[in-house]
Structure formats: C-alpha cells, structure tokens
Structure 1
Amino acid sequence: MTGAKKLLLASLALGFIGGYVDTVGFVALFGLFTAHVTGNFVLIGAELSRASANSVLLKLLVFPTFIAAVALARLVALRCERTKTVASRPLLVMQTVLLLVALVCSVPAGAVLAPDAPWAMATGLFMTAAMAVQNAAGRLAWPALTPTTVMTGNVTQVVIDSVDLLRGAAGPEVRDRLKRFIWPVLAFAVGALSGAFAYAGWKFWVPAITAGDARRSGRDGCEDGSQGVIASEWVIPFRREHHEQRPGPHPGRPATGL
C-alpha cells in the first residue's frame, strides 16, 4: 500500500471518529462540543443569556483540558524525536486510553445526568482530551494529513477546488487536493450520523473507539513525508441499557444516560 493510500485510510478512520465522538458528546452532554471545542463559546454565551441558565462549568473546563492534552501530546512527540521513533503509535494509544476512560466514567454518569454532575463532567473532559490528542497527532505525526476533527476549512477548500474543476481550470495538483480534502468531510458526516443514531438506539454507554493496531510503515516515513499511518480496524462497542427517563435540563427534553 502506498503512502498516499495509507494517509487516505487514516483520514477516513480519524474523520469518522471525530464526527462520531463530537456528536455523541453534543447529544449526551447537554450540547458539549468535544472536537470542535471553540463552538462551546457560542453555547456558553447562549446559556448565560437565558434567565434560567444551566451550569456552564463543563463547557468552560474543556478549554484548559484541550490545551493540556495538546501540550502532553507535544511532549510525547518530542520524546519520540529524541529516541528516533515514530510518534503515531504512542499518540494513538493515548487517544484510545482516554476514550476508554471516558467509557468507564459514563457508566456511573448515567445514574445522575446533569451538566455539573461529576461523572458526566469527567466523561466530557476525557472525550475532549481524546479529541485534542487526535488534533495534535494530525500535526505531529501526520503533517500531510488533512484535518479530521473540524471540517470548516476542509469544506471551504473542497468548494474552491470544485469551482476550479467545473471551470476546467483544475490541474493535477488541484484534483489531488480535492480528493484528499473531500474524503475526511464525508467520513466526518458519516461518523456524526452514526453517533447520533447509535446514541438514540443504545443510550447509556459513550462509545469506546479503540485502535486495533497502530503500526509504523516499512520505513521511518511514508512516501509523502508523514511519519506513520493507521493500519488498523476501529472497533466501536456499545451496550444497551434501559433506564427510567428523568426530567431534562430544558422543558420538553428528556434526560438520558450517556
């Protein structure tokens, strides 16, 4: 498999995970963005403007959590540089561990679901940390990889290149870039839809998305300059739980477990 195909596989897998986790966090945790964290600024402002505002503590805590996780990922990558090893494996392991911890926290969180409930907050913060590591890995381990957690820039580039393609002014470079940018967008969309429907049907458990295998390529770097790829299967286990619905934080919105 060529380096370009490996990067495509990585962008599809990580794009799906980004959309999946962000949607589950938004649906289950009172509108929390775990991947697109800056979107929480809008939600904080909207919440505080209401007369009966809910707690915004969780949305405020995601910012230092995100920063700390990115900083930790950078330190891991620096250590890998010193030891001349590929950073992709430890970063993927870190993300997997954080998602598994979020899964563990979501079990007791389902018993008391509120914006400021400790277990619910822990679940959201660990999910945010996992997405922060994925964001950082895209820059530290796969510099040639298109963004996989925030799609605004990707969609902008896809539209620009599509217009040039329709004008007949798209050269090989534009066509190649269009292919690289459009697939993560589609994967993110599929992940978001999957997360919404999976949560609606299975409730309670936040999905634990684990990397089955993260291994380096035959050489220290891929043909396109990236330092490693995901050559793995991504497993998304769920467990169906039945709980009595409790009154939600907003009128007409039932609270369900994570």
Structure 2
Amino acid sequence: MGTSRHIPPPTGSAALTRAWVRHFSKPAAIGITLAFVAGYVDVTGFVALFGLFTAHMTGNFVMIGVKMFGSADAGVLAELLALPVFVGSVAMVKVIVQRFSNTRRNPLRLLLTLQTILLLGFMIIGLAAQPIVSADAPLAVLSGMLGVAALAIQNAIGRLDLSGTTPTTLMTGNTAQIVTDIVELASGHCDDGKAAKARLRKTIPVLSAFVAGAVSGCFVYHCAGFLCVLLPVVLLMALASANA
C-alpha cells in the first residue's frame, strides 16, 4: 500500500510569486491596472506631443479642428494618422482573438506583450526625438503612432478578450454609468439594485485608477520626460507574466 507524501506549502519567493500571479490574474486587478496605464499614457502623449490623445479618438477629432483653424505652426499630421493606426491595430487584435477562439489558449498574454512592445517603442522613439519642437517632426509622429497603436490594443482587449468587464479607456461612458446608478439607488427607482451596486464596485475603482494614472503621468513626465513610460511598461509586463 503506497504512502502519500506531504508537500509543504510554498515559502519565501515562491509564495510571493504565487500571490502576485493570483492578484494580477483577477479581472478587477487587470481592469484597474489597465485603467491606470491608459490615463498615464494618454496624458503623457498629450503633454509631450502637442495635444495628441493616444487613447481617445474623439479627442483627436477635436484637436484636428483646433489645429486646422488655430495656430499656423500647430501640426495636425499625427491626429490625421491616428485614426487609421487605431483602426488597423483594433483589426489586428480581432484577427488574433479569432485565431485563438478555436484553441484553449487565451490571447491576453500575447496582446499585453504586443502592447508592452509598442509602449517601449513609444518611449524609445520619444527619447530619440528630443527636443520635440514641432508636432509634425517625423520622430514625434512615429512615437505618437506607436502610443496610439498600444492604446488601441487595450481598447480592443476590453471589447474582445475581457468582454463584460468595465472599459479601461472610455471614462465618459463610465462616469455616466456611475452617475446613473447612484441616482437610481438614491431615488429608490432602481429595477435591479444588486446589479447597480455590482457595477459601481467595478466602475468606480477603474475610473479612480484612470484619474490617478493621468495625474501621475503628468507629474512624472515633467520630472523624467519620456522615461516616465517605464512605469506602465513594467505594469504591463507584470500583467502579461501573470496571465500566461
């Protein structure tokens, strides 16, 4: 008759690694981390690249109007290129997700890795472009398009691979949902109070993380320039490693 061996629980670094993986593989932690990254990178692009939004195409449409009829030296090339770059990046994510759909593998790690590589390019080209004196400077435009592609992947991740979770880049919709749920709960006219409370528990942390990322990104950029992008790169690497 065989005897079973007792396997001791992991200690030290192994225990920390398992705890870290468990934390960063939870949907809530993924959403909060990605929201922080979105706010951080979006404000970095806006401050460093003459008003370019890396995460929000709506903002770029507005900036096209501002720049076309505003200052004569305000370049508009990056904003014009942002839409096709965004569309192409989202289409690429859709193809990747479709190819993974017939397998048991999750594409999240691959998508996060691609986003990390693009953000590294955003940072490296941004550093090479210094000092950026024109919005239409070739390296400045290239850096901006890498940032747009990185955040486009994140937009698509939320819609395709993490469907059902709170959007991590669309804070206008999140804010409207928060206000709607709070008013309905406070007025007593909420048809499904449990669902509204559940949405608030998911949406408020994501919105808070985005705001924290935007504030942090602006502060660290003014202290370290494009090197500030190392922080979201490290966070994405942690998410990619934890979601193998």
TM category, shorter? 0.7 to 0.9
SS in 2 for 1:55: coil
Counterpart in the other structure of 1:219: none
Q: TM-score, normalised by structure 1?
A: 0.78
Task: Quote the residue 1:79 is aligned against.
Answer: 99
Which entry has the higher C-alpha Rg, 1 or 2?
A: 2
Give the drift of 1:37. Answer: 1.7
User: Which of 151, 170, 174 pairs up with 1:154?
Assistant: 174
**Correspondence for 1:120:** 140
Q: Please give the alpha-carbon distance, in whole angstroms, between the structure 1 residues aligned to 2:57 and 2:69.
A: 20
User: Over aligned residues, Cα RMSD in angstroms?
Assistant: 2.2
In structure 2, relative to structure 1, the CA distance for the partners of 1:84 and 1:131 (3 Å cut) is: same
1:212 alignment partner in structure 2: 237
TM-score by length of 2: 0.83
The answer to whether 1:173 aligns with 2:195 is: yes
The correspondence of residues 85-100 of structure 1 with structure 2, limited to 5 A, is: 85-100=105-120
Q: Structure with the greater relative contact order (CA < 8 A, sep ≥ 6): 1 or 2?
A: 2
Paired position in structure 1 for 2:5: none
Find the residue that maps to 1:129 and give its secondary structure: helix
Check whether the contact 2:37–2:213 (CA below 8 A) recurs between aligned residues: yes
CA separation of 1:108/1:77 partners in 2, compared to 1, >3 Å: closer, same or farther? same
Contact 2:112 / 2:237 at 8 angstroms: preserved in 1? no
C-alpha distance in 2 between matches for 1:98 and 1:73: 14
Match of 2:208 among 150, 167, 186: 186
Aligned length: 218
Q: Which 4+ runs in 1 deviate beyond 4 A?
A: none
Q: 1:62 to 1:13 in 2, by over 3 A?
A: same
Indicate the residue corresponding to 1:131 in structure 2.
Answer: 151
CA deviation vs aligned residue, 1:114-165 (integer Å, no higher than 9, x gap): 1111111111000000000000011121112111012000000000001122
Task: Give aligned-pair identity as a percent.
Answer: 39
Aligned AA (2:215): L
Whether contact under 8 Å (1:29, 1:124) holds in the other structure is: yes
CA distance in 2, matches of 1:199, 1:214: 23
CA distance in 2, matches of 1:61, 1:18: 20
- Distance in structure 2 (CA, Å) of the matches to 1:23 and 1:55: 18
For residues 19-58 of structure 1, the aligned pairs below 5 Å read 19-50=39-70, 52-58=72-78
Residue ranges of structure 1 left out of the alignment (5+ in a row)? 217-229, 233-258
List per-residue Cα deviations over 1:79-109 (Å, max 9, x = no partner): 2113331111111111111101111111211
Task: Summarize the Cα distance change of 1:87–1:162 in structure 2 as closer, same or farther, 3 Å threshold.
Answer: same
**Alpha carbons of structure 1 residues 215 and 30: separation in structure 2 relative to 1, 3 Å:** closer
> In structure 2, do the counterparts of structure 1 residues 136 and 190 end up closer, same or farther at CA, with 3 Å as the change threshold?
same
Instruction: Indicate how the Cα distance of structure 1 residues 26 and 130 shifts in structure 2: closer, same or farther if over 3 A, else same.
Output: same
The structure with more helix, counted as a fraction of residues = 2
Quick check: 1:66–1:132 contact (8 Å CA) kept in 2?
yes
Cα displacement (A) at 1:201:
1.5
Unaligned runs of 5+ in 2: 1-18
